[in-house]
Amino acid sequence: MKKVFITGGEGFIGYHLTKRFLAEGYEVITYDIQTHSIPFDKSNWPQYIIYRTESIKDERLTRVRGDVCDRGRLKTTLERHKPDVIVHLAALSIAGVSNDYPEEAHRNVLNSTITLMDVLKELDYGYDRIVHTSSSMAYGNFLRDDEGNIIPAREDQMCDPIDIYGSMKLAGEYIVKSFNHRFKIPYVIIRPSAVYGPTDCNRRVTEIFLRNAMDGKPLKLDNGGLHQLDFTYVEDLAEGFFLAATKKEALGNTFNLTRGEGRTIKDLAEVLKGLMPETEIITREIEVYRPNRGQLDISKAKRILGFDPKHSLEEGMKSYYEFAKAFEEGKR
């Protein structure tokens, strides 16, 4: 039985990825600090965390409480379980937090990656690869053509992050690549974008809007809600991670794993209004600090991995809403 070791495996993406690997017959070891809380925002949905961490009952799943920056415990755990694949998800889950707490971001995004790579270089068995999680924020502002239209971001274009989170994620990519050059550690790098779906409790815009709409609160569109994101349903992302972790052709590559479609925040609000017609949408003017993003080019992932995301924003948010509604009604 093959084994996968997932740092941050008790988190949002980790939960869905754990289910995906178990479905394929893998033994899964999650390595997570397991605080079961978000210290920077107490308004999350704690019941989703409970659902996520307690719902998977499988003898092939081993949960280890540990900090990736704890080198001794990390190395001992890896040596004991000897996983075939290591997926590195552990990091700050909210990009905006990094700007307010840069030292926290440095520790949880950058130091954790350095510690993990340093431990991997000392392992004395033949693991297959590490799948490292970066971010679309590494690109910074997306390029535009002469008419002002956003050009889909490609993996081979120059990255120019404009915020702390993006810069930390890009630095992590360089660390992974440098350990590969120096110590031959096999790797794959993933750049996700705007992940959403059932069990999310990280206060992303999709969760905030869904929560507010369900509570009868207005959806606030910053500067008209024209900012674009490549919203990615979490089960599609989990499938992409699985392909990146198992396909030989993936080794040594960086992949955008997204829906491959730029949609505005206004689109998101209107999708929710379609599901809950009583929802009020208002606009406000604020200072913007996030990079201007949009569609990512996923042709490389399609060609090499066979990646084929299934959920449009309309389909994904409908499933997300139905999950949240059923959960609150006690049906889950």
Residue 163 has pLDDT above 70, yes or no: yes
Q: Name, in order, each residue with C-beta under 8 angstroms of 47's C-beta and a sequence gap of 6 or more.
A: 327
The pLDDT, as a whole number, for residue 203 is: 80
Mean pLDDT over each residue of the chain, to the nearest integer: 91
Spatial distance between the Cα atoms of 142 and 149, rounded to a whole number of angstroms: 10
Residue 309 has pLDDT above 90, yes or no: yes
**For the residues of 89-115, what is the DSSP string, one character each?**
--S-S-HHHHHH-HHHHIIIIIIHHHH
The pLDDT, as a whole number, for residue 321 is: 95
Spatial distance between the Cα atoms of 2 and 112, rounded to a whole number of angstroms: 25
Q: What is the DSSP letter of 224?
A: G
Helices and strands, counts by H and E, the chain: 12, 13
Domain ranges of the chain: 3-197+232-258+293-310
Q: What is the pLDDT of residues 278-293, one digit of tens each?
A: 999 999 887 666 677 8
The pLDDT, as a whole number, for residue 40 is: 47
What's the rounded mean pLDDT across residues 215-222? 94
Q: What is the pLDDT of residues 80-129, one digit of tens each?
A: 999 999 999 998 767 767 777 778 778 878 999 999 999 999 999 999 99
The pLDDT, as a whole number, for residue 153 is: 97
The pLDDT, as a whole number, for residue 289 is: 62
Out of 77-81, 223-227, 244-248, least confident range: 223-227
Dig out the tokens for 249 from the structure: 């052709």
**8 Å CB contact between 291 and 141:** yes
Spatial distance between the Cα atoms of 88 and 129, rounded to a whole number of angstroms: 11
Q: Which CATH architecture has domain 3-197+232-258+293-310?
A: 3-Layer(aba) Sandwich (3.40)
Spatial distance between the Cα atoms of 285 and 289, rounded to a whole number of angstroms: 13
Q: Name, in order, each residue with C-beta under 8 angstroms of 59's C-beta and a sequence gap of 6 or more.
A: none
The pLDDT, as a whole number, for residue 31 is: 96
**For the residues of 234-294, what is the DSSP string, one character each?**
HHHHHHHHHHHHH-GGGTT-EEE-S-S--EEHHHHHHHHHHHSTT--EEEE-----S--B-
Q: Regarding beta strands 263-264 and 228-229, do their DSSP bridges make them parallel or antiparallel, or are they unpaired? A: antiparallel
